Structures are given as structure tokens and as C-alpha cells.
Structure 1
Amino acid sequence: MKSNVRKLYLIRFFASLIPAYVIERLFWESRGMTIQMVTSTEIIYAVAIVLLEVPSGILADKWSRKQMLLLSACLYAAELLILVFAHTFWHFAAAILLAGVSRSASSGAENALLYDSLLAEGRAENYEKVLGRMNALDLTSALLAALIGGWLAGIFKLELHYWLSIGSVLIVVGVAATLTEVRSDAADEDCAKLAPLDYLRASIRFFRANADVRSIVFTGMVIGSSVSFLYEFWQIYLSRLAVPTAYFGLFSASIMLLGIPGNLLAHRLLSRYGARPLLLAATLLASAGFFYAAFVHHVTSLGAMLLTSLAAGIAEPVASGYVHRRIDSDMRATIDSFQSLGQNAVLAAASFGFGLASARFDVFGGYGFIGALCAGYFIWQVSAARGRIE
């Protein structure tokens, strides 16, 4: 089981060692992709996850979490290969569709395999700590890839970034193939008894019966979907501020660096302040960061964007751990998939508003819309909490 945890660390590292991401939007724009086209592919991505997230979670619980992670890695490599040769909107749309399928295949399976591996070792209480470290390693790898990608962009054609990225993902395929499936005999018996629809009904009953879980999960969804727009469009934002391309790698690295302390400290902050106050504070911080970036078109806006990355780093392990401590092993991937499904449903809905605001006010308007979304949710949650107290 310890081997599983180490291999999951390796998978996270090489899955994020993708130099293509630092020049992704510039590469897409050079192939004729506008902001509106990019937001359309984001909707395709989110819809694919909404449709497949829960079925893939059920499949991971009933069949194999290891095999779902392996399938995800293979689809990831295929996505990057398509992008190398993409020249029309539909090429990019096909690649992003594969990305959605790949993401849905791995999201519930990875966290479920991690938690059950720790549970088998008697270390389940360290879940947030280990997940935070995995996320920090993820960000460190992405930081390294950003620095490499930024350096390569000034020397070679952008296609090279994608070929190097494909090589990194092929390592993920190899490591995923060596994972060990973890499942207790009791969980195997429960999985054998349950039909796919039983998983769906049980998941719905779980969320209906646990109002506190619904609140925590939805807050995590709002933060996670909102920060996606920061990660996807910061390159365009920097270009609008006339920041030289040579500094893109440095800024990307800074985003990753600010996410690392959030993930590493999340378990300590959780024990001191509790999940709900932490997530509400992260929502408020994200709202302030997006508003500042939207209305202050200055290099200081980059600092506000970095604080938003810090907020997101705190939120993910806290929300995930809150859910996993309250579910059984035989439903772990399915419930986790519901959480990811909801986040991407919020992402799909927010993409419409972001696209419309960007069409009228460029990327600044899009970030203003996301800031308003986070602020509105924060006010709603605080008002609801006061109502319960009264």
C-alpha cells in the first residue's frame, strides 16, 4: 500500500510535467482559436465530465480504480497528440472532449485509491496531509514545466512543447500499469450486490441526508470552478497588460508556488479553524482577487491573482477530506465523482457568463464576472449561516 502512495506521487508529478501548458493559449491563438472558441471548448469539456463523471466513478468502484487511472493516462496522451496536429476548431474540440473523458476517468478513482491505500496502512487520518503533498508536488512539477516551457518558447517552435508533454504522459501510463488495487473483502461483496443505479440512488441519499456535506462540497465547487478561469486565461490577461512573453514562465511558476503553501498547510489550518470558516475565507479571497484583476489593469493585479491561487490551494484538500471521512469504501469513487461533476457543472454554467462578459469587455470583464460569482456565493452562505443561528 505504501508503494501505491509513492506511485500516485509519481503519477501526479509526470502528469503535471507538461511544458505545453505554459504556451497553450498562445499556441491555440496561433492556430486561429479566439477567446469565444476557447470558452466553447471549456463547455464541451465540462459537459463531457457532467455526463461521464458519475458513470466513471461507478465503474471505478465496481471494476477497478487502477484500470480507470490507466485508461485516463492513455486518453491524456491521445489528447496531446491530437493538439499537435490541430488546425480547426473541431480538432481542438475533439482533443478537449478526450480531456474531459480522461479527467472523469481519473478524478474519483485517484482519491478513492489514495484514501483506501492509507486506510489499509492505518493512516487514514493523514489523508488531507498526503493529498496536500500530492497537490504540492503537482504544482512543483507544473512550475518546473512552466520554467522549461518558457525557456523553450524563445528558442524552438511551440510544437516541441507538446512532443515533450506526450513523453511525460507516457511515463504516467507506465507507472499506472504497476499500481495495486486496494479493496477489502466486505467492499468487494457490497460492490457485487449493487447495480449501477443503486450507486446513483445511494449517492443522492447520502447528499440529501448530510446538509453539512452539501454546503462544504458546493463551496469547494465554486472555488475550484472559479480558479479554473485564472489558470486558463492568465496568458491572455498578461498579453493585454503588454507583459513580455519571456516573463510568462516566471508568472506561471509564481502561480504554482503560491498554491504549494496552501496545500501543505491545509491540514494544519483545518485542525485549528475548521472546514467551513476556511472555505468561506478562501471564497472571499478569490472574489477579491478576481475583482482587483478586473478593475485594476496594472502589474499589481498579478499579485491579486496569485492570492487567488493560494485560496484554491487551501480549499481542495479540505473539501475532499471532509467528504471522504464520511463515506464507505464501496462508494468512495462514486461520491467523489459527484463532487467533481458538480464542480464542472458550475464551470459549464460560469463559462457562459465568462464568455459573454469577455466578448464585451475582453478578459477583464470575464474576471469581473467570476469575482461577482464568488462574492454572491459568499454573501449567500453567510446569510444562510446567520439564518440557521437565529
Structure 2
Amino acid sequence: MPLYPLYALLFAETGLSAAQISMLFAIWSAVSVLAEVPTGILADRFSRRWAVVASSVLQAAGFALWIAAPGFAAFAAGFVLWAVGGALSSGAFEALLYDALAAAGAERHFPRLLGRVGAMGLLAQVPTALAATALFAVGGFTLAGWVSVGCCLVAAVLATRLRDVRPVEADAAAPPAEEPTVRAGARVIAGRPELRGLALALALLWAVDGLEEYFGLLAADWGAATAAIPLTLLAVPLAGAAGSALGGRAARLSTRTLAVVLGGAALLLAGAAVLARPGGMALVAAFYFGYQLVQVVMSARLQQHVPSVMRATVTSVAGAGSEVATLGLYAAWAFGGLPVVTAGILALALLLPLLVRRKMPRRT
């Protein structure tokens, strides 16, 4: 969406203070935590496809509010809509993808396909940055905003074409399972130690992606000219896309090997912090490559080991944990910046083999 790289500037241009902008981000995060699990349950009970469709429609409505009535109240309402929309798709999309493959007997391709989806999402940041620059030059925030609304609605239309295999259809030969609820989703995770560790590890891994919000600030702090920051940062999503795309091929790696990859990536990030020069963004990009590879593999493993009728619910429980952990990452950054966050990622790499068993009973 062309508005992505511009919305913080829109808030400032409207006259919001730094404290008000921070409050908006807090509203976004809080609603995301509260909406994550209930929306996953809705997707499992009714329709995962329409959950994804509604996600894009709600995001379009949020952007339309921002452009039509810019101000703190409209921005807050837009973030609420965006947060609920994001929660609707976060658990539903992977569940939708996995069960559609499972119904065709092709679930073994899920890690590779998930990696490709992640790679395309990261690569989209490149034309998005270029489009944002061009649209803003022609029509300012208004044009970029309405084009973003249109992009969301097009995405919603495309989502209606996704195949929605109901969990009971995918599990026709399986014994009846309990209805998806918050308690049932938590019980599935808590009742299986190996799944509990995997969900916790994945929640912490997903939280690391919050570091992306600071890459521009790092480039500026390390001496990159403001006009050159978009180009300086381009290597990061490109490297992340490569790591995500290779996640499918790395699906057979042991948890211990994945921990080594994540630890090595964290060391590269530490090296960037020590260098503290614009060239250090190359090391940040290398870190992002390793991180994306690991998180794609772990995301695929979660889908391979949860009951189909609870797939979106369990994924959303992990997503809610991730939102909470992301708040912890923001606090760690405020406390000690990149060195403290890097230490946390290294600690996660060390814990990964303890949290995730190498072999787990598979449930589709």
C-alpha cells in the first residue's frame, strides 16, 4: 500500500505530537492483542476465506477515514479497523493455505509455498516505495491514501477466489473435535508440551519482526542522508525475501541447525551495531535473511502439527503472544537500543532447541 511509508508523516503533518503518535501505535497494538484470538475462532467456525476478505475491507475503511477526516480521532479509529483486519487474516490465511493443500494431498508443499508468499510480501516493499514517492509528488497524502484504499479493495476481491476448504472436510476421516473457542485453543497448546514450546518459540520469533520499524532510524543514526535512506534500506526486504523463499528448502533442517542460523544472524546484527555506519545496513540485511528463513520454517511446522478444526485459532493464540512479545521488544529498544534487542535474539536462539522438539507427532 503506497500509504505504508507515508502514514507517520501524515500524522505529523496533521499536527499530532510525538506523544499522540505513540499513543496511536499503542492503540494499534492493544486492539491487535485483544482481537487476535476471537477473530481466529470466527475464521475456524465460519469462513477463513471471508475472514481474509473482511481483513482487506476493514483496512480500506481505516485508510479512507484517515484521508477523509484527518485528525487524532479518525487516526485512532482507523488503527482499530486495521488492527481487527490484521487479526482476521493473521490466523486465517495460513490455515486456509494449509488445508487447501491438505485436501489436495499436497501439504508437503506448504513450507515452500509459505516461503514464496512471504518473499512476495517483502519484495512488494520495493515498488511500494517507488509508488509512494511518485503518488506523493503528484497528489500528496490524499492521492497515496485513496490509491491504497483501492489496493485494499482489489485484494479483497482477489481473496474471494481463494479455495476455502472447511476443516471438517479436510479431516473427514478424523474423530470429531471440539468446537474452536479461546479455552479450547489454549487447551490444545497447553495439553501438548511439544506444541506449547513450538507456539511460544514462534510467538517470540514473530515479535522479532517488530525490529523492522527501527531500520530507518538506524540508518539515520549511522549517518545516512535522509534522502538516501529509502535506497539504503532496499537491501533489507530483498535479503528477507531471499531468506523467506529458501525457507521451504530449509524445512528439513533440525531445530538445532535453525538455532545456529538465528544465532549467526544475531551476531551479524551485533556487528552492524558495532560498525554504526551506513554500510552496516548490509549486515542488517544479512541478519534479516537468516531471520526470515528460520521464521518461515517454524511457521510451517506449527501448521503441520495442529488439528485442522483449530488451525486458525491456535495460530491466533500464537499471534496474540507475539503481539505481547512485540511490546517487550519495543520496551527493550527504549531501554537499551539495538544491543539489548540483539542480546534478546541471541537468547532466543539458545532457547530454540529447548522449546521445540526435533520430532513431533504430525496432525493434519
TM-score normalised by L of structure 2: 0.85
Q: Give 1:374's aligned residue.
A: 345
Q: Determine if the alignment matches structure 1 residue 216 to structure 2 residue 198.
A: yes
1:92-131 residue pairs with structure 2 within 5 A? 92-131=75-114
Relative distance call for 1:281 and 1:227 in structure 2 (3 A) is farther
Q: 2:279 aligns with which of 290, 300, 306?
A: 300
Q: Determine if the alignment matches structure 1 residue 274 to structure 2 residue 274.
A: no
Relative distance call for 1:373 and 1:301 in structure 2 (3 A) is same
Contact 2:67-2:142 at 8 Å conserved across structures: yes
Relative distance call for 1:277 and 1:42 in structure 2 (3 A) is farther
Relative distance call for 1:105 and 1:190 in structure 2 (3 A) is farther
RMSD value over aligned CA atoms? Answer: 3.0
- SS of the aligned residue for 1:268 comes to coil
Which piece of structure 1 moves more, 305-314 or 338-347? 305-314
Relative distance call for 1:38 and 1:211 in structure 2 (3 A) is farther
Task: List alignment gaps of at least 5 residues for structure 2.
Answer: 357-364
Contact 1:353-1:369 at 8 Å conserved across structures: yes
**How far apart, CA to CA, are the structure 1 residues paired with 2:345 and 2:298?**
17
| Deviation of the 1:86 alpha carbon | 6.2
Q: 1:347 aligns with which of 326, 343, 364?
A: 326
Relative distance call for 1:179 and 1:223 in structure 2 (3 A) is closer
Q: Give 2:307's aligned residue.
A: 328
TM-score normalised by L of structure 1: 0.80
> What's the % identity of the aligned pairs?
25
| Deviation of the 1:367 alpha carbon | 2.8
Contact 1:42-1:351 at 8 Å conserved across structures: no
**How far apart, CA to CA, are the structure 2 residues paired with 1:384 and 1:117?**
29
Relative distance call for 1:38 and 1:315 in structure 2 (3 A) is farther
Q: 2:291 aligns with which of 309, 312, 328?
A: 312
- SS of the aligned residue for 1:157 comes to helix
**How far apart, CA to CA, are the structure 1 residues paired with 2:71 and 2:277?**
34
Q: Determine if the alignment matches structure 1 residue 179 to structure 2 residue 162.
A: yes
| Deviation of the 1:155 alpha carbon | 5.8
Relative distance call for 1:348 and 1:202 in structure 2 (3 A) is same
Relative distance call for 1:379 and 1:176 in structure 2 (3 A) is closer
**How far apart, CA to CA, are the structure 2 residues paired with 1:323 and 1:368?**
30
| Deviation of the 1:126 alpha carbon | 0.5
| Deviation of the 1:42 alpha carbon | 3.3
Greater share of helix: 1
Relative distance call for 1:166 and 1:242 in structure 2 (3 A) is farther
Q: Determine if the alignment matches structure 1 residue 261 to structure 2 residue 242.
A: yes
Q: Give 1:61's aligned residue.
A: 44
Task: List alignment gaps of at least 5 residues for structure 1.
Answer: 1-17, 358-364, 386-390
- SS of the aligned residue for 2:246 comes to helix
- SS of the aligned residue for 2:247 comes to helix
Which piece of structure 1 moves more, 365-374 or 259-268? 365-374
| Deviation of the 1:171 alpha carbon | 0.3
Residues paired across the two proteins, number: 355
Q: Determine if the alignment matches structure 1 residue 236 to structure 2 residue 214.
A: no
| Deviation of the 1:148 alpha carbon | 2.5
**How far apart, CA to CA, are the structure 1 residues paired with 2:58 and 2:179?**
27
| Deviation of the 1:60 alpha carbon | 0.8
Contact 1:258-1:309 at 8 Å conserved across structures: yes
Q: Give 1:13's aligned residue.
A: none
Contact 1:52-1:104 at 8 Å conserved across structures: yes
Q: Give 1:164's aligned residue.
A: 147
**How far apart, CA to CA, are the structure 2 residues paired with 1:212 and 1:34?**
46
Contact 2:266-2:342 at 8 Å conserved across structures: yes
**How far apart, CA to CA, are the structure 1 residues paired with 2:353 and 2:305?**
24
| Deviation of the 1:102 alpha carbon | 0.6
| Deviation of the 1:185 alpha carbon | 4.1
Q: Give 2:125's aligned residue.
A: 142
Relative distance call for 1:88 and 1:283 in structure 2 (3 A) is farther
**How far apart, CA to CA, are the structure 2 residues paired with 1:222 and 1:241?**
27
Relative distance call for 1:353 and 1:205 in structure 2 (3 A) is same
- CA deviation string 1:105-131 (max 9, x = no partner): 111111111011111111000000011
- SS of the aligned residue for 2:164 comes to coil
